Amino acid sequence: MKESKESYDKTNKDQDSEETKEKIKSDKDSDKTIEDDTDNEESEKPIKWIKGKLIGQGSFGKVYYGMNTENNQIMAVKQVDIKNKKMVDSLNAEINLLKDLRHENIVHYYEYGDTFNVFLEYVSGGSVASMLSRFGKFTEPLIKSLTSQILSGLEYLHNRSIIHRDIKGANILVDEDGVAKISDFGISKKNEYEKAYKFNSRMSGFKGTVYWMAPEVVKGKGYSAKVDIWSVGCCVLEMFTGTHPWTGFSEAQPVIYKLCTMNKPAIPDSIGAIAKDFIDSSLSINPDKRPTASELLTHKFVVEQDEDFDFHDYYAEALKKEEEDEKAATEENEFEENEFEDEEYEDVDEYDEFEDDEEVDDYFEDEEVEDYFDESNFDDENENNFENSEIKKDNESNDDQTLNESENTLNNNNVLIET
């Protein structure tokens, strides 16, 4: 990502005397030094790190693989391309939320530098969305395990009056041990009230991703942390089906209409009764009837975990199946290519029985005559049509000749006039 080389000085000092100037400067991709502008004593020492490949995108920024050169710590580095004050405010809001959060199911924040790089915990397994794309829909034991962890992280956030506002598969990371972590707090917001579930009329921004968005967000008349509960229900549907919750809708506009008219996504019949009850309660149209994260953690779907489930076994089996599918796809492509080559020479093989070119010529000559003068398709009417067609062609030829003569005459006259 090309970083800005301009300095960004905050304006409107009279409105907020506590604002400090933020500077954006470019750094070499291979080795970057950042100084933390916070008061954290542990972060006073500059961090030297190496930038790796792009691993994802979040709100207002891209995430790169990084390594701390001093301790070889692997990190995820979120770089924000600052374009306006709104983006600065959004980044600062995300940092202010992240820096104090310490929970197993929340992505850990390391540090923030004045080059607008945010250093985060690296989660190796990828996101729920990327796993669904690779391995297909999840098994119920895995869904139960991940749902329980997502709710645990949300309970922690909601107890601190923080509303995530964009819970979805792409924002749930999973590490190599199957531990789920909520990420991307770019549009998260703290409720002004002490209780996150208290309705706030001033919380009216159209924030989130439509397919996982609650009806009250679309209506724009205020909401509470119950919007995250709706998104959890959608996320569970996503894991069961392998796609976004509004299956059959490829564009957001019809979904927005459905939400405005107080509808919710359909729950497939293939989902079990307990899981269906969990999803249905999470997707209650009336937010007051939706349970809290703490209440959902007591639901039978979450409480009754499969004791025999092992994430490592699941992941190894999924990787094995992925490899087999890729191998099968490669073999199928090779087979189709070979079949196409055989079809290409099929007509040639049909005439291999002829001993010389003369026999082949005789064969095709007879076929042409037979096809053209087949008595079953050549009656008196067709013969008349054929004759009429020939006459028509003669007339057209005569018309063309007349037209040419007229053009010649006209040209000659033009020459005489010009002369």
Cite the active site residues. Answer: 166
* 391 CA to centre of own chain: 65
* 279 CA to centre of own chain: 23
Strand locations in 220-370 (E): none
Token readout for 122 is: 């690296």
The structure tokens 């919710």 sit at 264
> Phi and psi dihedrals of 399, rounded to 5?
-60, -40
Token readout for 133 is: 């794309």
CA atoms within 13 A on the CB side of 196: 24
Q: How far apart are CA 186 and CA 94, in angstroms?
A: 5
**DSSP state letters, 308-346:** T--HHHHHHHHHHHHHHHHHHHHHHHHHHHHHHHHHHTH
| CB 78 within 8 Å of CB 120 | yes
Of 220, 222, 210, the residue nearest 256 (C-alpha): 210
Q: How far apart are CA 376 and CA 185, in angstroms?
A: 78
Of 294, 301, 261, the residue nearest 280 (C-alpha): 301
Of 32, 10, 21, the residue nearest 119 (C-alpha): 32
321 is in an annotated binding site: no
Please tell me what DSSP assigns to residue 187. Answer: T
Annotated binding site: 78
Annotated binding site for ATP: 78
